[in-house]
Structures are given as C-alpha cells and as structure tokens.
Structure 1
Amino acid sequence: MKKNKAICRPISIKMKSILNTLAVVYGRSGYLIPCSKPMTIRSINRYCCRMWSYLFEKYKMPKFLPHDARRSISTLLSESGVALHVTEKMLGHTMRGVMVVYNKHDWIKEQAEGYELYCKLIEDIIKIELQKK
C-alpha cells in the first residue's frame, strides 16, 4: 500500500485567486470545498465525465479527464523549454537513478516559474479559442 507523504508545491498567482474565491464562497473552514463525505478520485472522474458530456454536447469539445491535465502540463512546459526534472517534480514524480541519490534539491523556485508559465499558456490558448468564436 502506498503511504501518504507530505509534498511541497508552490501556488501560482492564478491558483491563489481561485483559492481566495473558494474561501469567500465556502468560508475558511479548513476545507477547500466542504461536503458531506470526502471526494474520491472516482467521484472527481465521474464529475469530469458529466462536465465533458455537457461540453461535448454544447461545444463538441474533445474528452478531457483529470489525468489529461498532467499530460498537458508535461507537454506544454517541455515545448516551452522548462527542464524535464522540474516538470517531473511539478507532477510529483520520483527522480530515478543517480538523480535521486545525489540531488536532493526541491526546485521550488523553478516549479513556481513553471506553474506561472503554465497558467499563462492556458490563458493564451483560451484567448485564441475565444477569438475564433
């Protein structure tokens, strides 16, 4: 069984804004979105499937699930020149080989820059798509 371990990730300016909005909507109870029972990966995937059904019906949007966001981060940041080891840290992947033995750096500054870049790239893509309509 996989053990839960503490992780440290920087938060982008956009994410801070989203979190502040959630705090206004739901209060500062210690939970992002309080609910009657904990959200599971399965419930999140079901929600995404329902959202995709709506978006496909209305906009013919291709299917997009939570794991696709991870692929998107890796691809867009690699295309934009972010070092692979930084992207791997952002995705929570464990370094392998010599890297894991000798390099214990967390790359927090570089991760923060990567998250900011990712937000900008997504915003740019959205602007382009909105201009098409």
Structure 2
Amino acid sequence: MALDMGGSGMGDAAEWARICAEFQEILRDANRFGLRARLTRLVERTRAGTRALPEWRVLLADIERLRAAEESGGSRNGDSDRPWRPWSAAPEASDHVCPDEVCDRLATPVLGRSPSCDLFAADMRPSG
C-alpha cells in the first residue's frame, strides 16, 4: 500500500475515503510500528468532529517511511506489493456512503449487510 497523500492532487473527500478503505491496514501497521497510541488519539479526534487531515497525512507518511525502512532491511512478510482486499459478493443495487459525510467512499452491501466504516465505528448509510 502506498500511502503518499501529500501533494497528490487528491481531494479531501478522496483522501478520507482512502483512510477509511485502508483503515484495517493502517491499524495493523500502527500496531507493528508502535504508533497505536498516536493513531488512537487521532481516531478519537476524528470521531469527535475534528477533521485533522494534516495530522493523518503525517501519520501515514511516518507509517510509509517505517514500512520502507523495514523492507530495505530485508525483513518482509508475504507479498507486500499487493494490498489486501476484502472479499465481496456480487454488488447489490444500492451504494452506501460515509456515515459522517466526510469521505466520498462508496460501498455495496455484502450478503444483505450494510458495509461498515471502521474509522467512525458505524455502519455506512444507504445513498439517496
């Protein structure tokens, strides 16, 4: 996963969508690199309404730097060039959107269940 979000021309909503979609990987890496407390504080601020996107960018850049250092040191587990993608069934008719209207991520229900937003710890809501 390349988390380079600074200067990419990506809009805020697209950046939030990326954070949301990759949240489990971010959490895993924060645990691995000793950044869990920092991530927890940032998630709490985000859930409380503080849209701290600059701080998210710094955290993600730090994770990417630590990941690159780890890889250059020869310790590598699995195929890190391919990001993990969750399994999904055939898409259903309705798309779901961010429960807090922050990002532009769209997701489809799987097996009749609303997709969840790990960042806000809530189910995504149907669009429209």
TM-score normalised to structure 2 length: 0.29
TM-score normalised according to structure 1 size: 0.29
Bigger helix share: 1
- The structure where strand makes up a greater share of residues is 2
